[in-house]
Structure 1
Amino acid sequence: MTEVTDTQSTGAKHADPSRSSEQDLRALFGQSLAVFAAFEGPEHRIRSSNPAFSAVLGVPGAAVGSPLAESLPGSAGRELIAALDRVQRTGEPETGRDVRIVLGEGAHAREAYFDFGYEPRRDAGGAVTGVRLIGVETTQIKHAQRLTAEQRALLEQIARQAPLAEVLDGMARCIEDLAPQEVSVSVLLADPDGRHLRHGAAPSLPDFYNEAIDGIATGEGVGSCGTAAHRREPVIVTDIGTDPFWDDFRGLAERAGVAACWSTPILARDGSLLGTFAMYHRVPRTPQESDLALARLFADTASLAIERHHIEQAKAAAEAHAEAARVELAEAMRAEQKLRAEAEQRAAAAAELAARMRTAAAAQAATPHPERCQLGGADGCTAPAEIKVADSWGDAAWGCSAHVEEAIFNVRSAFIAGEEHGGLAAYLDR
């Protein structure tokens, strides 16, 4: 069956975060109950007990008058009965701190811890007739201490910017150790567009299972996690074998040996999706309020780790972009300096050429031209030199108007042959 109550989703969206956290802690670590029982004789027959003794230790009220060993057999009551034996024998009171007792059997077995006080009961003559037991279960206190220590360690990892995979893996293992029943924890991370979920951590699930669900879409009816991510609220599937959300994944779940999956979305402070946090069980199971509180607490821790990771990623990307821009600017400045140097070289060469041209022009102006035409060839010409002509090879000559016209015509048409012997020089040497 799939259960998502309005109170779960409303509380996640509108409750004061500090108050919600306090409520979760109360659900996880409510007040421990005091137990009382009076025993008679060396067999420690139960004379009387309060309801908490029967409820916590699993000793039915009908067991009054029977030896404690019959009601609490095996290793569960061994240390307790040994302490009762000592007090019965010596008449000296005792105390026991964090006495470990395994209650129940098989899948229902749980580890419990108690602080016990043992007082001898005496008759009118002072002889010990039995033992009075007063105790307080300290299991929740020990779990609270472990939870506090584990969360502090996780927060320290986040603060020192440990890799996200390391933080999530440690968190998953912590929950698997803290949970009273066997559980496998999975954390999936949302893609930036929120449409797919990627593997984050799942130390106790088979590799083939993690690979198969890596990249699953978010959407209604896509298992527990895909649906929780789509709805932005917890999705509790108590029996994978019959739940329609798991129609496409039922065979995979059977291979992995999981029969129940409770998924909680991991949300950022602005409500955007960061991922999902899931608790898998080997048998169909309905969560207790303490289970849901544990899921909410660690979903909040995961949110902090993932948001910190995203911030560091954005910071690294910005630094990389800034470095790339700095390198590009440096390259542009080097190119600009090179172009400026080349331009300065060209300007200097142009200035030198202009100076040489001015010098050559001055030299030409200072040289008087001949009185007679130089273009008459071997026969010579006695006409006055009136016009100066030059060609592209730098050769120049003075001539009369008739020979200048003839030179221009012939040099342009017949005597442009080669740089070795052409142009005006060829005309002059004809």
Structure 2
Amino acid sequence: LTAVAGVGSESDTEEDAITKSHDTIAPSHHHHHHRQAEKLLQLKDQQIAKLIKKLTAVFECNNQFAVEHEKLQKEYQQAVQSLRTLEAIQAKSCDSCAGFEAERSLLTKENADLRNDVKMMKILVYRLNVQIERYQDTIREGRTDIPRLDFVDSTYGGAKDNLNWGPVNSHTLGPLLNAYEETIAEKTALVQRYESELASFTGKLKKVLEENEALQKMAEEVRAGQSGWASEKARLQAQVDVLRSKAEVQGKRADLAKEKLVEVLKCYEQKVQAQNLDIERLQEAYSRAKGELTSLRNLNQNPEVVANSLKECQKYLRQRTADLEQLRQDHRQQQGIFERQKEINEILMGKNTTLKQTLERTRQSKEILKQRLKTMISWGKGSEQRKDQLADCWRNIRALQDQLQQRDRQLQAQQQRFQAEQEQLQRRLRQREDTLRKILADKAQFQRHS
């Protein structure tokens, strides 16, 4: 109904708007009145079609709601009927439950009584079984004085035992009390036997405690020695780490020195090649000058040409002497570099000797450690853990020795290479000095001849 009212209100508002628009348009546009009327009719038809669609949708929804309402009403009635039947069943069941509860309480009481009776019967059967076993034992041993069982008064000691228990039922409780007395006697015998065993056990326990105290003292001594050994191991490990770091530093320094030496050798080779080229040029110039001198000696007809060539030779000689002085300066520089490399080599040799001394000290400390380890092994031969620790220590020491030996071999190889390169450089320098001396001697002879 609200949807229909909404649709009706929408149609009224649209009609009012159309009428207002028509009223506003009609006075101003009379010649278009027919067209506007057709448009208005079309708009009305469209609005009517929309309203019909909305009304059909509203009716369909209303029908669906009615069907669902009927279903819910039927379900509600069924639920009310089932609730009434359940209430009636509950009332009947409550009455039956009360009767069942009363019966259950009676049955629980009877069950408790029966349980007590069963317990008593079990105890009596157990005692009778014990007595039967004793009779069987006496029969096996061949005794003849077997006590007779009197079902009216079944007791072991007769009236004497029953008198001790006071006014009790001799038919039911007498045998049970006699069995209790026998079990008590057995328990006392067991207690006495356990006391004797406990006394012997206490004696053995004292001996074991004394041995334990002695072993505890020995263990404390071993722990004290082990703590000293652990501190010694830590100190040696620290020394090993320090020596390892020093060896690494020395190795790095040796590598740097090697790189520097390689660079110096490359510079030497370059300068030697340059000097060889200069010497070859000087030799060529010397051979040319010598040839010119011989030609001048043979050709004495033209003294002016000889004088000019002599001046050129003197000029060339001055240039060569300047080159020779430059070569000498280069030689001095190379000699200074060689001296510095020699000093570096001496420093490295000194460090190598210090490393050897530290290695010797570590070897001595290793020998001391070996002796201590031998004593520790003699104290605790049965400890596998200490053996593993000692094996690890030995492996670490051997690895350190191998590293130090490898470093020594590397240093020795570097020293040998350095000495060989040094000797090679010295030979080259001597050869160069010899060639320079020869050139100077030839120049001096040339000047004397000129």
Q: When the two structures are superposed, what TM-score results if normalisation uses the length of structure 1?
A: 0.21
**Higher percent of residues as helix:** 2
**Higher percent of residues as strand:** 1
> Structure with the greater relative contact order (CA < 8 A, sep ≥ 6): 1 or 2?
2
Q: Is the radius of gyration larger for structure 1 or structure 2? A: 2
Q: When the two structures are superposed, what TM-score results if normalisation uses the length of structure 2?
A: 0.20
